[in-house]
Structure formats: C-alpha cells, structure tokens
Structure 1
C-alpha cells in the first residue's frame, strides 16, 4: 500500500489555501473542442476513449483577476470537459491555476487503494475504489499534474503567479484502472498555438449507441391502443441521471441486442442498431410482456442538443427526437 504522505508531497500547496480561487463562470452551452484552440493555455484531450464514449460537455471559465499581481487586461481562462457512455461511465478533465489541494482523497478510505503510473507528465498517483486492480471502479482520481507552461512560470520563483501555466486533474467512474491508464497515455495538448491542429476528431465523434431500452418503450403505445409514436422527444440527460426509473439492473448485451428484463413477468425489452450515420440512428425495438407475443417496431431518430428553460434558467440538454416510426 502506498503511503498517503508520499502522494500528498507530490501536490503543490500555496498560501491561498486548499480551495480554488473563485472564478467568473462564463459558460457557453455551445462550447466545443474547437473553442479550446483559441485559448492561450494548454488544454488536453484524449485520442483514446472506451467504446461507447462521446463528448458530453466542454466548459470555459475565467479565473478572478487581482490588481496586486495580475495583468487586468489579460484574461485567465480555465477549461473542463467530460466524456461519457450515456450510463454511469465517465472520464473528466478539469484545470486550475493555483490554490489547488489534494485530489487523492476519498470518503471511504477503507475500500480505496492507491497506485502510481507513468505518464507524459511524469509519475502520476491514482486513488480508486473499490480495492483491487481488476473490475470497473466506482471512482478513479489522479493527482494534479502541471503542464510545461506552469513548470516554466514556477521556475521563476515561488512567488510567481502563473498567467499561462495550468494544473490539470483527471478522474473517471465506471471504467477499469487499465482503461483509465490508456486514456491518460493518449492525452495530448490542443489549446496552445503550437498544438492547435493536434486535436483528434475521433474523440468527439458520436460513438456506439447506449440508450436504455425503456426509452423506446415510452415511444410505442400499449398493445391495446392503436396510435404510435406516443412520445417523440426524450431528454437523454434526464434518462442518464434518473437511475431509479432507468436502472441498469439486469441490463445485458446479448449479441447485437441491448436487453433489459420486464420486472415480475419474465418478459424483456431490447433493441439493436440497424443503421447509424453521425447522430442519426435506425433501430429495431422488440418487447415481450412475458407471454408468447413479441411486438416489434423500426424507429429512426436523431440525437440533438436543445435549449430549454428549467426553473426559469436556460439549460442545454441532449434529446432523442423521433423522425420515423414503423410497426412491424
């Protein structure tokens, strides 16, 4: 077991304390990876992602300027992003300028484990839970690492306040440690001018479809009714977060079919992808209530972003929008 003191010694501390400086959140719901190329700072993106992962969000915010040591005419951008598979598996990146604390802390220390890996940043210390090298982890967190700009600026002296240098933090959920290491080793800069063309398009392309079969159950009418589709647009962000209604208990991949059981009936809901191009999909959906009858339909849809208002505030959500429905 690796000493926690050793991990803590790898993490820089500053007089400003263990929390990040307050920052001015200038988030744009339309922010993309291309927007990171326009920043002066170095931003990292992965060229390897687990199957089914796609880019969920990119955010650009700005650190607070201080007259006593910052150039008030020079903004201090920060960036963050998250990839996911539409379920509980994610990989995220965040950045900080100073005032960082120890990321390698978990609430359940008894069931967590630490390790060290080699990366392009040098030795990187990880903590994850549950214990054990194998299997998907509830959470994986890497300690902060500094980029080349940060190393250059801090070399000027301990009192130097970085303008272009950033610390970068990487974390994940629902994947294995081995998969996390693959992602870390694929990271490359996209934000600096010298690396502006190095973004890997594959990292932001739509990937394998991963939608709960219950979503398609909402589209089709009851057998006793005649009119379908009933629902033509569904908030996929809500589906991902509502784990009680769309829980993955019994969810299995059966060849080309993604299948879930119908509780207390012995029946099932399942679908398979027939065609996909970009964000457009064509699937066959089948449902069985536990008897001899299995119904089937062909559903075509697009996955799009939509701007709505929730509790009076603007919100961007990913939606499934039905474009064609055929009962077989």
Structure 2
C-alpha cells in the first residue's frame, strides 16, 4: 500500500480516537517518519538507477599495439577516391577501403577481434559536427596482416540531403586512436526543369581530378588511372532515362619535349552523372620497343616526362609532370612518409600506385 494512503488512514484513526488537535499532533510525527522513509526510498531508487546506467555504459575502447609495424598506418589513396562514393541522389557510401600497417594486436598482446572488439571504425563529420559513426565487423586482413580491407557487408549510407552541403570529413580509427583523415566538399545543383525526375544533383569536390596514378610491375604494361564524372541533368536529350554521358578519353606522353606515347584513337567511355569513376588504360608507344607496343618495366627509360589526359567533356586537358629514375616513377612528396608533414594525410600507394599531381 502506498505511503500516502497509509497517512490518510492513520489520520482518520487518530482523529476518531483523540480528537482533532491530538490527531493532528500525532499525524505530524507520523508524517515526518513517512517523509523520511519516502526520501530514503527515493535515494535508493536513484542509487539503483545510477548503478544501472553504469552497467549499460559503452564498452571501453580497445587500445592497440601501435609498435607492431615500423610504418605509420594509412588508407590507400585509390580506395579513398574509388569508394568514398556519393550518388547523384545524395547517398554517400563510406565503405570498402584498403589500409596498411593498422595494428592487428591489442596492447596486451592478444589479437583484436573485428566482431567482439569492434575496433575498426570511421567517424563522419559535416562542418566539424559528428553525424555518423560506422563499425566494420566484416573487415579482413592479408599480406602478413599488413593489409586491412575495411568493410561492413550491411551498412547504411549517409543521406547528405538531411545534412546539407559543406565540408565533410572521414576520420579512421583502430581502437581508441585515429590514424587517418580524409576531407572533401559536398555540393548540390538545382534542376531548372520542374518536371524532371531529379530535382537536385548532389556531388563531391576534392582531389579526384587533381591526381592521376601510374602503376606497373615487372612483366606488366604501365597503367594510367584517372577519375572523371559529369554534372549534366540530361546528358542524352533523346533518352532522358540515360544518365551516363557518352564521351572520349585520350592521352599523350612526352619525354624531353617529344611525344613518345599516345592513344591510337580516343577511346569511347560512359561517364557517370555526379559520381566519380576510375578510367584505366595502358600507354601505347608511337614505335614498338623491345618487342612491345606499350610502355612496360623493361622498356621504360629514365628521364623527365609530361603527361596530358583529355576527356572530351572537360574544358581543358589535365597536365602532369613526373620523373623516372632507375626504372621507377619518382613519388611526389605527399606520398613519401619522410617528406609528408601530416601522416594522417599521406598519399598511400603501397609501392604500386605512383600518384601524379596536376599542374
């Protein structure tokens, strides 16, 4: 029975037995005892509530052994540009990244578990405010645990129309420590056609068009990779449902001022609306060398080079310069750990992708 009901019954009984004044006096004493008891009960309830809150608090972040590898951890630049993917409708995917030198072991020496420790994470910010945190329980390791494939098989996307345009940033964590960051701009474009299916086109701006990469290994052709997209609402007036743009892609490679490789003819490509996609091609020599029509590890020569990439849907060609020394492309400073002033923004190529910066 509730204390308030007991008080009412007690007061009525006291009044009947000893009169109103006596009843009130006795009731005052009883009320003090009841109040004291009630306060004690509330204190106990609060104590129980606090204890329950502590018991359900978030699990402490795992502390990783960052001495496991000599090299600083980083996310590969190609996976960042390929998989930080914003659809034209405003759906941002933050998944399927490749990283290197992220510790496998915890500080206590035991191996960390992707599922139980939940230590592989990203935090996504918009204009400095945290909007989403992702955990990657389906991640995988390879290459003697030096390589980490960051993935979550079932993961929500971020709808940027709920957050708006601005500066977005992805911070990468292993346990309690952040080891990498990537920022870019999210922008939008309004459609003047009120009857169109897509009223707002969402897109990113950042390093996608400012860099290209060269990749080759012994026995393979030199591969050129570059990202492109288009921002037209209706690239095919005859077929409004077709959102890809028909375009062409070509290149010229100069050595010491002379063209030594170029496209045999511009290659037809389909360019995605709003979303950057990677285009790759081998570099074809003007004249065959060492039995090959393409530049490869065996026939490449040391020296200074200039590369021009032309996408027909872009206003101007992209121009890059680089050096080859001892049959290797000399990496830019942003790709060299000893020369990069910010390890969290290192351009990681895993000694495979050699990134070029646009002039």
Q: Which has the higher helix share?
A: 2
TM-score (norm 2): 0.26
Compare CA radii of gyration and give the structure with the larger one.
2
TM-score (norm 1): 0.28
Higher relative CO (Cα under 8 Å, sequence separation at least 6) belongs to: 1
